[in-house]
Homo-oligomer: A and B are copies of this chain.
Amino acid sequence: MPARLIVHGGAWRIPPEEHADHLQGVEAAARAGWALLMEGASALDVVEKAVMLLEDDPTFDAGTGSVLNCLGEIEMDAIIMDGRTLEMGAVAAVQGIQNPVRLARLVLEDTDHNMLVGQGAHDFARLKGMRFTPAAALTVPREVKRFMAFQAQPPTKSAESFTAAASGGTVGAVALDNSGNIAVATSTGGTAFSLPGRVGDSPLVGSGAYADNETGGASLTGHGEKIMQVVLAKHATDLIRLGKSAQEAADASIAYLYQRVEGYGGLIVVDKFGGLGFAHNTPHMAVAWVDETGALHTYIAPPA
């Protein structure tokens, strides 16, 4: 089985002046993840590494660069799932961590649980000797400015933020390794100006991510409340079981998201046969992938 990798940096209306940074960010994550895959790394290790790079890139709404909630604080969510065993680790509403996906991996590896949230997740990070990062070091000027604008005039409808230039970019990766194992990871700083403790689709298994060697893997981004309502990552991988390719599953999933709940978002998919796909109904989505020849491609908008 030839290896495959696809990553995303969020689906929303990305301001034109930020396109270059988004493309460079997803390209760097895909390149580093692919190098690991070529060295024989597992799909699980590859999606963790790719998402850590995207978390560390201040361009994206995950890790450093996360959006601020209505208290001006960063709360982050992440999940990582192993399609070989269906085991996962997830964290939600964690603060002061450089790499939430790393903490999610530790939940997978070192606990009998699948998900830790809030203070409990924070205490677990301390227990594992993780390094903490002051909120100020995770917070970028772009998000301070956005927060101040929101505070001056709070948004009236959360759905609007996914078609207006007021959202950020959740990140994710799906990989298929040479052993035929599929893994997925998704990480986010959530939605700007949300209530504290708000959790969207990203860290929820079946909603923001799903991986199963019997079908494929999918990572979601967009309006989390809508994506949750249709449990879209599981929906996408179930379509592969029903005979769809990765691209057909991606297209059908976004159609379903809009048809059932008028939701906006995007997803990346890898099927167990090595097919890659992505789809979005937002103006833009930052994506990078490696094709069967090993060539790296990037994408941010449909052809004009």
A117, B117: Cβ atoms under 8 Å? yes
A261 beta carbon closer than 8 Å to chain B: yes
State how many angstroms separate the Cβ of A27 from the closest Cβ of chain B.
Answer: 32
Chain B: which residue is nearest A238 at the CB level? Answer: B238
- Complex-state Cα separation, A277 to B76, whole angstroms: 39
Residues on the B chain within 8 Å of A112, using CB: 157-158, 225
Q: Are B231 and A113 in contact (CB under 8 A)?
A: no
Interface set, chain A 185-244, CB cutoff 8 A to B: 194-200, 204-207, 210, 224-225, 228-231, 234-235, 238
Whether B260 lies near A234 (C-beta < 8 A) is no
A87 at the interface (CB under 8 A from B): yes
Q: How many subunits of this chain does the assembly comprise?
A: 2
Residues of B within 8 A of A194 (CB): 113
CB distance from A290 to the nearest CB of B (A): 28
Q: Taking the complex as formed, is A88 at the interface, i.e. its CB lies under 8 A from any CB of chain B?
A: yes
Interface residue A115 (Cβ < 8 Å from any Cβ of B): yes
Are the CB atoms of A121 and B205 closer together than 8 Å? no
Q: In the bound complex, do residue A228 and residue B88 qualify as a contact, i.e. CB atoms below 8 Å apart?
A: yes
Asked if A205 and B205 make an inter-chain contact with CB atoms under 8 angstroms apart, the answer reads no
Main secondary structure of the interface of A (DSSP, over half): mixed
A83-126: CB near B (< 8 Å → 1, else 0) gives: 00011100011000000000000000001111111111111100
Cβ of A235: which chain B residues have Cβ within 8 Å of it?
234
**Cα A222 to Cα B86 with chains together (Å):** 17
- Residue picked from A119, A197, A207, A235, most chain B C-beta under 10 Å: A197
Q: Name the one of B86, B197, B238 contacting A124, with C-beta atoms under 8 angstroms.
A: B197
- Give the shortest distance, in Å, between A162 (CB) and chain B (any CB): 12
Residues of B within 8 A of A231 (CB): 205-206, 210, 231, 234
| CB-contact partner of A120 in B121, B198, B205, under 8 A | B198
Q: Which A residues fall within an 8 A CB radius of B? A: 75, 86-88, 92-93, 111-124, 157-158, 194-200, 204-207, 210, 224-225, 228-231, 234-235, 238, 260-261
Knowing that A112-B157, A119-B119, A121-B197 touch, tell me 17 more A-B residue pairs with CB under 8 angstroms.
A75-B120, A86-B260, A87-B229, A115-B198, A115-B228, A116-B195, A116-B197, A116-B199, A117-B118, A118-B197, A119-B196, A119-B197, A124-B195, A204-B206, A205-B206, A205-B231, A231-B234
